[in-house]
């Protein structure tokens, strides 16, 4: 089964031979290697590039362990570039597995060589076009990007969107949404048949790959139980407003464990660095400023979140919100949680100020959308409750309410669009209807 990752393939094609290192990032097992080694490789073949001029190296394979040494890696790649009259396309998978070693030519322990040095050196080969994949955003931290000096071009790959999943779903399409919100969009989930197989695959990914990577990369083996507990807490409250202080209080009251907010903040960043989670900050729409007190965390893949909780908490409304967030991220929107404040009189006639939430404020250049995940609006009262924040937004950007039901899209008197979740996910044009 081949899933066409056209969104990412077209990006690679557009960046071909642009003089920059193409850095393909994303959570492990989301399809980065397949994109590069299969789909893009096939494209290069189709435009006349033969296999001799495509150099591929997967650093996560045991037989290539020696090339995790940067000196060995550099020597290997250079040995393959033999014909100066032809262009070579260099693919290095899981580049972050390259270790940093002392510079053998300098008597200074602080002088080290790592993958950045190798890549910057390879860039000077005039007939080389370089592509690397990585599963940890620490490889793209500010200090490393400073060393690249604008010579790195990142392409972020996500697990399958619902549209990609739907196109490859071979069973009754009516069950595609149920499968997706239960098991998520990791590509190999489509090859698993039973619940037991899918559950085991996702749990093993979390335990044997993601958690292990976070522990080893950040050297926190002694705090594994805290890390695991934090994952469980955040999984249970996906899409809820929280912050490290609030989570620290949860540990104190529920787990009877004292974990500082600084430690929790650091661990949450580890999850984000490993592409397991994303966070959305609160944005005051009227005041046009960020509110730093609370934020929301979403899982990059809802199937991983569900497996983390043994599929016990299957609240479709919360999962649907996470899916919408991931879809907007895949469409390359910057996403915030909107806040609208307004003054009114309470039942006693006293002036009060109330904050209302807009689930998502999605921005991409000059485009902005306000999106509410409503699950159901089965009554007029419920509908008015869901749009209470949207009607108070003081601008004319598009406003959308996404519901679970399969409905014909329609606009109300306020110009707000109502659309079903599957149509929203399957048709990007619907946002501009």
The one-digit pLDDT tens for each residue of the chain (433 residues) are 789 899 999 999 999 999 999 999 999 999 999 999 999 999 999 999 999 999 999 999 999 999 999 999 999 999 999 988 999 999 999 998 999 999 989 988 889 999 999 999 999 999 999 999 988 776 666 666 677 778 889 999 999 999 999 999 988 898 999 999 999 999 999 999 999 999 999 999 999 899 988 888 888 877 788 899 999 999 999 989 999 999 999 999 988 888 999 999 999 999 999 999 999 999 999 999 999 889 999 999 999 999 999 999 888 999 999 999 999 999 999 999 999 998 877 788 888 889 999 999 999 999 999 999 999 999 999 999 999 999 999 999 999 999 999 999 999 999 999 999 999 999 999 999 8
Considering 140, 156, 172, which residue would you say is the last residue of a domain? 156
* End residue of a domain, out of 126, 156, 186: 156
Whether 151 and 299 map to the same domain: the answer is no
Same domain, 136 and 274: no
For residue 70, count other CB atoms closer than 10 A to its CB: 22
108: left (phi over 0), alpha (psi -120 to 50) or beta: beta
- pLDDT for the residue numbered 357: 96
Q: Do 145 and 165 reside in the same domain of the chain?
A: no
Kindly state whether residue 20 falls inside one of the protein's structural domains: yes
Same domain, 299 and 367: yes
Residue 185 lies in a domain: yes
User: Looking at the domain assignment, is residue 1 inside a domain?
Assistant: no
Tell me what pLDDT residue 138 has.
67
| 405 token code pair | 């039901």
Structure tokens at 422: 């599957």
- Looking at the fold, whether 330 and 377 belong to one and the same domain comes out as yes
| Rounded alpha-carbon distances, angstroms, from residue 108 to 78, 104, 112, 113 | 27, 9, 9, 12
In which residue are the tokens 């419920």 written?
A: 382
**Which domain covers residue 250, as residue numbers?**
161-433
Pair 104, 222 in one domain: no
Q: Which of 256, 255, 206 is nearest to 229 (CA)?
A: 255
What's the whole-model pTM score?
A: 0.93
Q: What span, in angstroms and rounded, lies between the C-alpha atoms of 62 and 159? A: 25
In this structure, the answer to whether residues 294 and 173 fall within a common structural domain is: yes
The CA-atom distances, in angstroms, between 297 and each of 220, 231, 238, 305, 326 are 22, 11, 6, 11, 11
216 with 331, same domain: the answer is yes
Q: How many CA atoms lie within 13 A of 430 on its CB side?
A: 23
Look up the CATH number of the domain holding residue 87.
3.40.50.300
Specify whether 130 is located in the same domain as 189: no
pLDDT at 385: 94
State residue 88's pLDDT score. 98
Of 122, 140, 156, which marks where a domain is finished?
A: 156
In this structure, the answer to whether residues 195 and 343 fall within a common structural domain is: yes
Domain-located, residue 209: yes
Domain count along the chain:
2
14 within domain boundaries: yes
Dig out the tokens for 26 from the structure.
């994303």
Same domain for 320 and 175, yes or no, is: yes
In a domain, 19, yes or no: yes
With respect to residue 45, please indicate whether it lies within any of the assigned structural domains: yes
Q: Are 187 and 3 in contact (CB under 8 A)?
A: yes
224 and 368 inside one domain: yes
Sign of the Cα pseudo-torsion (63, 68, 71, 74, in order): positive
Position 249 in a domain: yes
């Amino acid at each position: 089964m081949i899933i066409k990752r056209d969104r990412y393939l077209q990006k690679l094609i557009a960046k071909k031979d642009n003089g920059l290192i193409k850095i393909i990032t994303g959570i492990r097992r989301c399809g980065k290697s397949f994109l590069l080694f299969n789909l893009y490789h096939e494209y290069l073949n189709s435009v006349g590039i033969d296999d001799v001029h495509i150099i591929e190296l997967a650093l996560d394979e045991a037989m290539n362990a020696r090339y995790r040494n940067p000196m060995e890696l550099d020597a290997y790649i250079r040995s393959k570039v033999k014909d100066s009259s032809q262009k070579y396309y260099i693919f290095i998978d899981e580049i972050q597995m390259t270790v940093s070693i002392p510079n053998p030519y300098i008597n200074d322990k602080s002088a080290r060589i790592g993958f950045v040095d190798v890549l910057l050196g390879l860039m000077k080969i005039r007939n080389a076009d370089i592509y690397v994949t990585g599963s940890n955003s620490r490889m793209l931290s500010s200090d490393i990007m400073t060393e690249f000096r604008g010579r790195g071009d990142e392409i972020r790959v996500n697990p399958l969107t619902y549209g990609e999943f739907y196109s490859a779903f071979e069973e009754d399409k009516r069950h595609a949404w149920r499968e997706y919100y239960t098991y998520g969009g990791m590509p190999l989930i489509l090859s698993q048949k039973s619940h037991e197989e899918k559950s085991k695959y996702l749990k093993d990914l979390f335990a044997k790959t993601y958690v292990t990577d976070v522990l080893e990369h950040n050297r926190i083996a002694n705090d594994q139980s805290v890390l695991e507990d934090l994952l469980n807490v955040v999984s249970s409250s996906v899409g809820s407003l929280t912050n490290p202080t609030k989570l620290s209080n949860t540990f104190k009251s529920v787990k009877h464990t004292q974990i500082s907010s600084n430690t929790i903040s650091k661990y949450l960043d580890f999850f984000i660095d490993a592409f397991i989670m994303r966070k959305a900050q609160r944005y005051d729409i009227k005041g046009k400023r960020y509110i730093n007190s609370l934020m929301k965390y979403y899982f990059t893949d809802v199937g991983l979140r569900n497996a983390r909780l043994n599929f016990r908490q299957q609240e479709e409304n919360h999962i649907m919100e996470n899916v919408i967030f991931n879809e907007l991220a895949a469409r390359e929107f910057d996403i915030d949680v909107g806040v609208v404040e307004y003054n009114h009189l309470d039942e006693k006639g006293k002036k009060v100020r109330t904050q209302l939430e807009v689930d998502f404020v999605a921005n991409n250049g000059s485009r902005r959308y306000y999106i509410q995940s409503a699950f159901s609006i089965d009554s007029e009262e419920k509908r008015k409750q869901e749009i209470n924040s949207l009607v108070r937004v003081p601008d004319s950007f598009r406003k959308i309410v996404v519901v679970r039901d399969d409905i014909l899209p329609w606009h109300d008197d306020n110009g707000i669009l109502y659309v079903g979740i599957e149509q929203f996910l399957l048709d990007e044009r619907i946002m501009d209807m």
